[in-house]
Amino acid sequence: MSEFLSVKDLSVYYGVIQALKGVSFHVDKGEIVALIGANGAGKTTTLHTLSGLIQADKGEIIYKDQNITTVPGHKIVNLGMAQVPEGRRVFAEMTVLQNLKMGAYTRKDKAEMDETLKTIYQRFPRLEERKSQLAGTLSGGEQQMLAMGRALMSHPEIILLDEPSMGLSPIFVNEIFDIIEKINKDGVTVLLVEQNAKKALSIANRAYVLETGKIVKEGIASELLDDETIKKAYLGE
């Protein structure tokens, strides 16, 4: 079986600073794969490079047997990859519904889009309740739901989640992780970047550990949860 998403020897520079130093990993269809690591390890840079927001200086990204290393971001959405950015980035002055529709800008079939909207509302009832409300007035957790709903409006095959639990209350953190699992059960592959390593490893199939732009460890997520070095470095144990 060919790998769904394959990243080979990815290097990215910001000026003279090398943010990624030969990063290689893969994601199989239907998996939840977690990328964990400290702040500044290169997790967000990895996602931005995959989604075409940053160009790689070296290496290649193969997605569904297609080399997308130099494909610009707006075209990558059309290929079935969506990113939920760190810090949510909702359009504060637009309503919840307008935000969701922005996620479907690549889709031409209105009836199909309306069907997707119904599905999003079933998954996030709170968004339907607040569909006429300005996104900027939502709580952090609701904004995270909106950012995820907006990404799902493009009907992605894989969703890249960047720090979905950041700044959320523990109750919302649990809710967001439950939603991620449900999205995955519905057939969407998930690549999850998350500082809350314990939560990430508890729902992922496999995980990679990034340190200063390099992958230093990889394995089955449940085994990494029990790994002493991981516990000390990332799980606060």
Task: Give how far the C-alpha of residue 91 lies from the chain's centroid of Cα atoms, to the nearest Å.
Answer: 18
Bin 164: left if φ > 0, else alpha if -120 < ψ < 50, else beta.
Answer: alpha
pLDDT in tens, 126-185: 999 999 999 999 998 899 999 999 999 988 999 999 999 988 888 889 989 999 999 999
Structural domains in the chain, sorted by start: 5-234 (3.40.50.300)
Cα–Cα separations (whole angstroms), residue 3 to 22, 27, 65, 66: 19, 7, 8, 11
- Give the predicted TM-score (pTM) of the model: 0.91
Query: pLDDT, tens digit, for every residue of 27-71?
Result: 999 999 999 998 889 999 999 999 999 999 999 999 999 999 999
Please name the residues in contact with 193: beta carbons below 8 A apart, sequence gap of 6 or more.
Answer: 34, 35, 36, 43, 44, 46, 47, 86, 160, 161, 162, 163
| Residue of 38, 76, 30, 37 whose CA lies nearest to 185 | 30
Q: How many whole angstroms separate alpha carbon 226 and alpha carbon 201?
A: 10
Strand order in the sheet with 214-220: 81-84, 158-162, 189-193, 32-36, 206-211, 214-220
